Amino acid sequence: MKEDQNCAEVIDLMNTRVAIGLLIASLIYALDAVEMLVAGELQTTLHWLGFIASLTTVLWILRAMMPVFRKKIKKGFIKHQEPESFITEAFHKAINKSWIFTLLCLILLKTMDQLIVKLDLPTGFYFSTLTFMMLFTASVIFLFSTWINESVDRNEELT
């Protein structure tokens, strides 16, 4: 972390890193769902991959949040309302869109409840799949929207 960064820049960096952490976490839930569909040695391998990915995610998100905590404590930026920025707004919008997408998936599952009963999959499979979709869509929407904005900004600088 650069010492000359203001609070908004530090929070933007944290939001970007947390979004990457959410992407990694979504893969953990995908592995968990797939693990319920397979058996034998592949299931054990997926279990250990999920465990390693879980540790990586926790460490990554803690690493993402530490500069903000340090900056807030050191500089006295402890507030309820964080500084507004494009990154922070994009992060909040991505989370909102992710919840909408997840609710649509829940509605779709409810309409297909007779088919779901016939599949006879464990309930944990559906929870893992929905959690995967929620985290994956939040992180991808955020990363895509910030990538698009950075690309537009670079093109404007070139012209």
Instruction: Give the global pTM.
Output: 0.79
What is residue 15's predicted lDDT score, i.e. its pLDDT?
86
- Mean residue pLDDT of the chain comes to 85
- Contact criterion met (CB below 8 Å) for 132 and 73: no
Per 3-state DSSP, the chain is made up of helix, strand and coil in percentages (nearest 5) of 85, 0, 15
Sign of the dihedral defined by the CA atoms of residues 22, 25, 29, 31, in that order: positive
Measuring CA to CA, which residue among 79, 66, 80, 78 is closest to residue 10? Answer: 66
| Per-residue confidence band for 1, with pLDDT thresholds at 50, 70 and 90 | very low
Confidence of residue 77 (pLDDT cuts 50, 70, 90): low
Q: pLDDT at position 82, please?
A: 57
What span, in angstroms and rounded, lies between the C-alpha atoms of 36 and 33?
5
With a pLDDT cut of 90, the percent of the chain lying above it is 52
